[in-house]
Structure formats: C-alpha cells, structure tokens
A = this chain, B = another copy of it.
Amino acid sequence: MKVVGIITDFGGERDIYTGVMKAVMTKICPNISFIDITHNIMPADIKTGAFLLKSSYRYFPKGTVFLAVVDPGVGSSRDPIVIKTRHYYFVGPDNGILSLAAVDDGVCDIFVVQNKRYFMKRVSSTFHGRDIFAPVAAYICKGVNISSLGKRKSYFEQVYIEPVIIEKSVLEGRIIYKDFFGNLITNITMEQLREFTEGKDFYGVIKRKKFVGLREFYTQNEGDKPFFIEGSFGYLEVSLNKESAAEYFNIDKDEYPKVVVKKVNTRR
C-alpha cells in the first residue's frame, strides 16, 4: 500500500477535480491509499499552501508521495517538478508550493517532469493536476525511478514566510491561516517568540487591537479576550476560548493581517 498525500486549492470534494485525480492515479497504480491534507487553500494562495504542507508532511509514513496542486500559472511557463527529499517525494508546479516542506525535510534531488510517457495521452492546458501531476505521482508509487521523468534541476522557486524584527522591541509577523474554529495561525514559531522576548513581558496587536497573555490550552482562559497560545504545529496562534478569534478581529476570509508582538520595557 502506497500513500499519496494531496493538497490543493480545489475547495474539497465540491468539484469533480480531486476525485478525477484519484481515479487517474488508481488506474495507474491500484494500491494507493489517499490522504487529503486540505483542499481549502484560497485559490492561488501559494504561501498558505506551502505553510500547510510544511506543517503536515512529517506526520506521514516515509516514502509518501505528496501531490500539491495550487497552480494559478497552469498552462503557462512554470515547470512541473518532482523533489526527492530525505524521506519523501513532492510533486507539483515549480511555484514555491513545495518549497517549505522540501527544504525542511532536506532536499536530495530535483527533476523537471518532461517525459510524456508518464502523462495522460492528451494534456489539457487547464488541468495539469489530472494530466501531469497525478499520473507522475502514481508512477512514482509504482516504482518508476524519478531520474527517468525528465532532466535534473539544481534549484526551485521558494517562498518565504519569516517574520521580521522591525525595531528592537517590535516583531512583525502575519496571520497565515485561519482555521475552522477561527483560530489565527501566525508565521511566528515559538522559538522565534522566545528568542525575541527573552523572557520579558509582551503584548500583541492585530488591526489596532491589543491583547495580552500566552496560554497553555484553550479553556485556561476564562474570559472573552483573545490570547496567544502555542499552536499544535509549533507556531504562535491567537485564539479565544470557545469563540472565533477571526470574528473578534473581524477578519475577512481572504485577509491575512499583520500581527505585531511588542516587548514591554519593564526597566522604567
């Protein structure tokens, strides 16, 4: 049984696109177990897609093939690529979607996918997920050596999601994902927060609203104020107890506002 982890901006099983990709893969390699990571990335939001792939890949069995189709440039000049990392394979467009996970696991080899033998017979210009990426993922599951897929490449597009220290006491990050519960996931890791705050008091600001406190778990906070919490994937989150932080800060579904962490000068 081979595992394929799938991440797209198709909006889940709403449309037939995900099902058709699974059908194509099953036709090529019958014993694949599919795990949908998410299809809920806003259309063409490569950064968030890359972030979510990075957050989830390590929980999969070694040898898993990841199929990432967030591909606003489909049909134009961006390359389809395969990245072999220390423990996994990543298949998708060369637009950065694969980069955070691949770099995190350690890149071993990169190939441009060119060999039409491993494509659908007729390649459309609007759905490479079905016509190129899915069949290539299935052939890797079937044991095809990735060096036969095309020519080696030495680099790939990368996205950057790092927060920045804009002055000594101000760390500026961004909300990078809002989950179904309304939790706001930032791009600030717990390590970055600790290193920046050096044990000093700090508060957060989102859309001019201040809030304080770093909680351990959701119900620890009894009131109705937002608070910081260590998210389950190692990033700082902003939450409310039993309520939606996204609603509290009035954040639109395609809005990714800044989150500012300010150290309090306690010397004064």
Contacts and interface: CB of A to CB of B under 8 A. Distances in A.
A16 interface: yes
Given A56-B23, A126-B217, A15 B61 contact: no
A130 to B, nearest CB: 7
Interface in A1-25: 1, 3, 5, 10-20, 22-24
A81 interface: no
Interface stretch (A165-173, A200-208, A229-237): A229-237
Contact of A22 (B26, B35, B73, B124): B35
Interface in A225-255: 229-232, 237, 242
Interface string A18-56: 111011101100110101111110011000000010011
Interface of A: 1, 3, 5, 10-20, 22-24, 26-27, 30-31, 33, 35-40, 43-44, 52, 55-56, 59-61, 64, 72-76, 124-127, 130-131, 179-181, 216-220, 229-232, 237, 242
Number of this chain's copies in the complex? 3
A76 B219 CA distance: 7
A189 to B, nearest CB: 14
A14 B246 CA distance: 15
A75 B124 contact: no
A75 B218 contact: yes
A44 B230 CA distance: 20
B124 A230 contact: yes
Contacts of A52: 16
Closest 6 CB pairs of A and B: A75-B217, A127-B232, A11-B180, A125-B217, A23-B59, A19-B37
Contacts of A12: 12-14
